[in-house]
Structure 1
């Protein structure tokens, strides 16, 4: 029997690395820097996508959504994490824990689908360039983005209450920095096979199907690039897709590895560092990946700074 009186209310204790205070101090300063960079970088991408005429394209519409996702996730989890790392108080309220869990599941599901949408966008750009604007019209982009957000939120609406309702028999020490689903499941004192079974079932449409679509899209793209005779044409096609490939690799490698960890202490510590990577490193790196290799974004940055992009491009070449 599950105890309803231990399934809601009260504060949780986020253990983190409380047994290693020096490490927590180091992580506090590192995470603060990464958090500020993530907020600044993703806010800049959103701003440029809204005001830059050259960025009013489907690819940047999806990129703007990805940046908004990263902002939602980091803002819902990192400030509380910094508070816990800095001082002796390691608690988080029940409501705060629910918010973190809901945000984590929503963002993860939404990002999986948005990355597949971006892969389809790159497929159309490379394989059907003459029909690009006709296929990726604004209405379709809005529908795909709405579907991605709705799917992620639906995933969270199903999983969050089920995860939080598992009986814990008074156990409130979560061996993690944040209220992540695997960490919450570990402190349950009842059978969790129902939660784990539903999570596996939902992973098929939320994770595996989008990943398959991404791989199929890039299979067609690779075949199309192989048919391009000129080196300049192949380089242009590669530059078109390289940023997205980098983001997909970062996202899926961290997510897949994190959820394949066994339940021993060593792997839990590895999972904590991997969660930090997913929470901070990926949202911080994404804007830099797109701006460093994307001339349109670079031009929008220079224009926003009031510089003559034409003169700069002339000097660069």
Structure 2
């Protein structure tokens, strides 16, 4: 049984809804990346240096990232030699296998939020303006609430016009309260109020929005440090997660944003939004491999439940779904 068929068998134990969301959300990347790989393996009669060079270009075009691509190509060459693979079509399954392997890497993989037992869990969201940070907070609030948890939102982006109102719209939609102050107020003061309110009401989860200015990195760092300091003083060990929200459609620019924010704060996970809107879904691998930070959630559509916990096997199956179905015909 090929790796792709084993992958399908493994993910079949999960709900069809999740599998379909990944398959649908990755359609643009699949139609670009996987179809090009499919075309490549049918055009070549043998697995040679020209084959690998063209595969390299396809991977870079999907925003997998140069260093990740080099690592993947080296692994593929070793595996092809070890298995004595002559037929290019046999390389497809090896590619999918190595993509899962590169994502999982040597470090322990977890897509779970670090929830605290019987006490407040604080999640801090960072990211530039326009990446879908507020929408992500709203959708995660919906997720936690549907799981029976009590949720509170903190409107810590006091600089962007309309940011507080946007979070309030999501609060009303989901049915959770937003702790806020006036526009231009100190974000750390908002966080203090939010933490006090969350503790007093014995809330399970506090989701904290922050400003997304990157124009002045020094100010950004100072602001985030102050916010974290206030949260940690009031809730020892918090924030329990610092989630960086990145717009998948920005490609490699998203990777440079990730590196900047990682310098400013200890990012524990990535939320990759608008993955359904790009043909360059390889950015998932670049972020994981080059930053060693797990992707915890991905945005696969506009609906409330289209923000899904990231699963590398669902992701790779979503990329190669057409090939699996072709194998079965």
| TM-score past 0.5 threshold | no
Bin the TM-score by the shorter chain: under 0.3
Structure having the higher strand fraction is 2
Structure having the higher helix fraction is 1
